[in-house]
Structure 1
Amino acid sequence: MRFDHFIERFNGPLLALSNAPYRGGLTKANGFFFMMVHKNYAGDYKADCRAFELDHRLKNFVGFMTAAEVGKVLSIARSGSVTAYVTAGITNPAVAGDVPPPWAPGTINIALVVDEGLTVGAMANVIMTATEAKTYTLLRLGYNATGTTSDGIGVFAPEGEVEWAGTATELGVSIGRAVRNALKESIEKWERTR
């Protein structure tokens, strides 16, 4: 597979919570995209994501960026009601709380689509559980890191009544499994491209 972007369209608008560079924060989204940029990218990311959205006739999409070749590293895993979409590039591993190494391009993007209706608090809990699963996967694969210096994460779900998504819940177990499986596969793909 060789392509420079990935677009996921939803059947209807979902509640979105993310740190994505384009339409990040708490919003409603019709989908999301992973957009590849050059490894030395220093452009106007909001304008470039907006242009991507217009070029592909998208509206109200959340946009993530990566220097990894999307078609080579994209991995998708499902567990229970959770689907994880991951692109990984790990040229700049870092440990939260340590002084970061000199900047280099590399990003782990994780987008989670949850079929269950969640509260905003539960969406924050999803991000916490997914981050724990990401860190565990990195350590398990031999990376002395909690992530990279530019990771992106987002959760997309219908608005609903589910309040918890931590590791003690069935939903949390599904989040952990989906993230671990997709991230492991994506990292292995990325390692083969180096």
Structure 2
Amino acid sequence: MRFTHFINPFKEPMLALSNAPHNGGLSRANGFFFMMVPKNYSGDYREDCQKFEWENGIKNFVGFMTAAEIGEVLAISRSGSVTAYVTAGVTNPAIAGEVPPPWKPGTINIVLVIEEGLTVGAMANAIMTATEAKTYTLLRLGYNATGTTSDGIGVFAFEGDKEWAGTATELGINIGRTVRKALEESLRKWEKSRNKKAFTSSP
């Protein structure tokens, strides 16, 4: 699969909660995108993401950035009402609470699209559950890390009355399943791509 960016429009606007560089925080969104940037990127992310929207004819999207080749690492998984979209690159693994090693480009982006009506509190709960699933997956696969130094996460849902999305709930179980499956697949793709590049560049 060869493409540089990934744009996912919604059929109708959804409530968004994220730490995305473009339209992050709490908002209403018409969709989201993963935007690929160079590994040595040092540009104005606000300006570049806004320009990305203009160039692609989209508006009020939540935007994530990554130096990983999106067409090679994107993984999508669905369970129940939850769909997870993940791009992974782990050249800068880190452990929460410890001083990270010198920065290198590498990001795990996780987006959850939940086709249910949630409160904002439940969306925050969904972020917690997804983060637990991310960390478990990394440790299980042998990465001595809880994430990277630049991870992104976003939850999109309809506004509603469901208050909980923790690991004891059906919604939380579906979140955990989708994140674990999509992240593992994306990490396998990333490792395969990295090994292939190392092989082709060796003398």
TM-score, normalised via structure 1 length: 1.00
- Match of residue 3 from structure 1: 3
- Match of residue 17 from structure 1: 17
CA distance in 2, matches of 1:62, 1:133: 22
Match of 1:188, SS state, is helix
CA distance in 2, matches of 1:158, 1:78: 17
- Match of residue 46 from structure 1: 46
- Match of residue 156 from structure 1: 156
What residue ranges of structure 1 are gaps of 5+ in the alignment?
A: none
- Match of residue 174 from structure 1: 174
Q: 1:163: Cα distance to partner? A: 0.1
CA distance in 1, matches of 2:44, 2:76: 29
Q: 1:16: Cα distance to partner? A: 0.1
Aligned residues: 194
Q: 1:126: Cα distance to partner? A: 0.3
CA distance in 2, matches of 1:16, 1:178: 18
Which stretches of structure 1, 4 residues or longer, exceed 4 Å deviation after superposition?
none
Q: 1:66: Cα distance to partner? A: 0.1
TM-score, normalised via structure 2 length: 0.95
CA deviation string 1:93-142 (max 9, x = no partner): 00000001100000000000000100000000000000000000000110
CA distance in 2, matches of 1:8, 1:117: 20
Match of 2:23, SS state, is coil
* Correspondence 1:33 to 2:24: no
CA distance in 1, matches of 2:183, 2:102: 24
Instruction: Give the partner amino acid of 1:53.
Output: E
Structure ID, larger Rg: 2
Q: 1:19: Cα distance to partner? A: 0.1
What residue ranges of structure 2 are gaps of 5+ in the alignment?
A: 195-203
Identity of aligned residues (%): 77
